[in-house]
Structure 1
Amino acid sequence: MLLLAVDTATPAVTVALHDGTRVVAEESDVDARRHGELLLPAVDRVLAAAGAGSGDVTDLVVGVGPGPYTGLRVGIVTALTFGSALGVPVRGLCTLDGLAYAAGLDTPFAVATDARRKEVYWARYADARHRVGEPAVDRPADIAEAVAGLPVVGAGAALYPEAFPDAREPLHQSAAALAGLAAELLANGDGGSEVGGEVGGEGGGSRARGAFLPPRPLYLRRPDAQVPKNYKVVTPT
């Protein structure tokens, strides 16, 4: 097994390789404006560091968000393209689940990432492997009561200390954590949703060891970029 994990749902462009036992190579670069430029070179470097080629990859996992529109698509499209070219399954994982797994907490907490527009993407967790309910996007002040007394992991918590006084690291997503979570799921026989397979549901409640999702963007709201409503139409004479 050689699992390639990528995530571009946050400012971190992050890539990792997992051999089923451990992470054998990883790389992360925090740059919210250069996802498209940074991802493929990072994949090449991680493969080279592991002494592997793209043909050695047997599985792909990609963070599906929630995250901003453009950056999130870079990772998903890249993973789907690799999967199609290599003929290997592509599975999605909630980006917040990766952050929760990296936190390693065994008591209740929450994860919050920056959603821009003075909002955060967030979810609550019973522990590092069990999410409670579905991810959401809200203003920090509107959820302060819901997470009161809980540690909150992620850059969203650090941005709004008045709403999240117990902010914790890690701030950014790690493909190494995403790969570790995926490897656990696969080792326990949870193939989950993948390209070409059955599309699993996203029901609420506590999720044991996270859950694979279809490799489709989890946006939660409309994109920031909009087509102008009153633009001048120029037609040939």
Structure 2
Amino acid sequence: MTVVLAIDTATPAVTAGVVRRGPSGVDVLGERVTVDPRAHAEQLTPNVLGALADAGLSMADLEAVVVGCGPGPFTGLRVGMATAAAYGHALGLPVFGVCSLDAIGVDTEGDVLVVTDARRREVYWARYRDGVRVGGPAVDAPADVPADASAVAGSPEHAALFGLPQLPPTVPTASGLVRAVDWDTPPEPLVPLYLRRPDAKPQQQSARP
């Protein structure tokens, strides 16, 4: 059995949960989710502490950390990933990064499209078959996303654009984050999935005369 802290800040939802993982599956001991796209930094630590309190555990009981690495906006991802790395360093725990879309798609059945808000009238998306990713992740305008799936999950507002039956979950969950990890593979360095080039570009130096 492994007690895992799972966090995600890749969407407007600030997810933090404490999950016990064992041979029979995962058991969510405590979970706090706050939907506020402008409060990732303010809400993440309170949600972590609240989930631990709900589970009746302390930081000393944790044995691993899982964090969603996007796709998502720079600011949101930075909060979650930096926090996960800090917990791992301070507590001496392995930190596993997963695709945040996988944390939604892993809890679906059938041929499902998962979408989240990418802003700029675009969506982040990936395609799943019985919980396994078979396409994406990518970022596109909704009209350019292959929508020949049987259902759609993720952001309700954006899922509604595809005219498909909508399924839960709507945001990354603690259970989904833990289930998305390949536990047979050692953790690798955390790499954010931005899927876009930065808006700010360095100014080119003018050629000297």
- With the shorter chain as reference, the TM-score category is 0.7 to 0.9
Runs of at least 5 residues in structure 1 that lack an aligned partner in the other structure: 195-213, 230-237
Residue 154 of structure 1 corresponds to which residue in structure 2?
154
- 2:60 counterpart SS class: helix
Q: In the alignment, is the contact (CA less than 8 A) between 2:152 and 2:159 conserved in 1?
A: no
Q: In the alignment, is the contact (CA less than 8 A) between 1:23 and 1:180 conserved in 2?
A: no
State the TM-score, normalizing by the size of structure 2.
Answer: 0.87
Superposition map of 1:1-237 within 5 A: 1-21=2-22, 22-102=27-107, 104-105=108-109, 107-128=110-131, 130-143=132-145, 146-155=146-155, 158-159=157-158, 161-182=160-181, 185-186=182-183, 190-194=184-188, 214-224=189-199, 226=200
Residues 3-30 of structure 1, C-alpha deviation per residue, up to 9 Å, x if partnerless? 1100000011001111224111111011
Query: Once the 2 structures are TM-superposed, how far is the Cα of residue 97 of structure 1 from its aligned partner?
Result: 0.5
Query: Once the 2 structures are TM-superposed, how far is the Cα of residue 181 of structure 1 from its aligned partner?
Result: 3.7
| Aligned residues with identical type, % of pairs | 46
**Partner AA of 1:80 in structure 2:** A
Q: How many residues align?
A: 198
Residue 208 of structure 1 corresponds to which residue in structure 2?
none
Query: Once the 2 structures are TM-superposed, how far is the Cα of residue 171 of structure 1 from its aligned partner?
Result: 1.9
Query: Once the 2 structures are TM-superposed, how far is the Cα of residue 58 of structure 1 from its aligned partner?
Result: 0.8
State the TM-score, normalizing by the size of structure 1.
Answer: 0.77
**Partner AA of 1:138 in structure 2:** D
**Partner AA of 2:20 in structure 1:** D
Q: Distance in 1 between matches of 2:45 and 2:161?
A: 38
Q: In the alignment, is the contact (CA less than 8 A) between 1:3 and 1:19 conserved in 2?
A: yes
Aligned-residue Cα RMSD (Å) equals: 1.9
When residues 223 and 167 of structure 1 are mapped into structure 2, their CA distance, relative to the original with a 3 A threshold, is: farther
